[in-house]
Amino acid sequence: MLQRRVTVLALLVGYACLAKAELLRGKPAVNGTVADQLAKAPHSAPGRSPKLLNASQLVVPHQLMDVSLGPFDTSSLACGACFKSFTKKGDSPAGPVAPLCLCYSMPGGKGHEMFCSTMKTAVTHVKNKKGCRCVEKDFEAMGATTCKAIE
């Protein structure tokens, strides 16, 4: 019976020490609340809202990244590179990334650039940049890879 009381007393003292340690920590000086972070977050453009990963980290987009592949001498070479690309063909287990993407070629600063996308809006984007849609093994051109204008 005495041993039980000593064990219970030891547990209570242990928990009391932990509770005091929690009280000593106090409120974090840096983090604050999520509402405070949202109020302080910069909103530089409409529609650009900050992304909260957790209560202590606030991520705000800063710039747009553009990745292009090229330049190629002709649109046919850009199309050929697109059809053989990791995005379209790929190697297991990581690829292919988007085997159903459509290949496009767009004129760039020093030549043609390839572009592969599954999005419907890509057609308008490529058309606005005076690009064309790639055709692999075009039988009208004796099986060569060609690039047809977007109508």
**Nearest-angstrom CA–CA distance, 81 and 75:** 10
Q: Report the side by side order of strands in the sheet with 69-72.
A: 69-72, 112-117, 102-107, 132-138, 144-149
Model pLDDT, residue 80 = 93
Model pLDDT, residue 132 = 94
- Taking residues 29-47, what's their average pLDDT? 53
For residues 33 and 70, the model is more confident at 70
143 Cβ neighbours under 8 A, 6+ residues apart = 137
For residues 41 and 1, the model is more confident at 1
Question: Using one digit for the tens of pLDDT, what is the confidence trace for 85-125?
Answer: 888 888 888 778 888 999 999 998 889 999 889 998 899 99
Cβ neighbourhood burial of 75 (10 Å; 0-12, 13-18, 19+)? buried
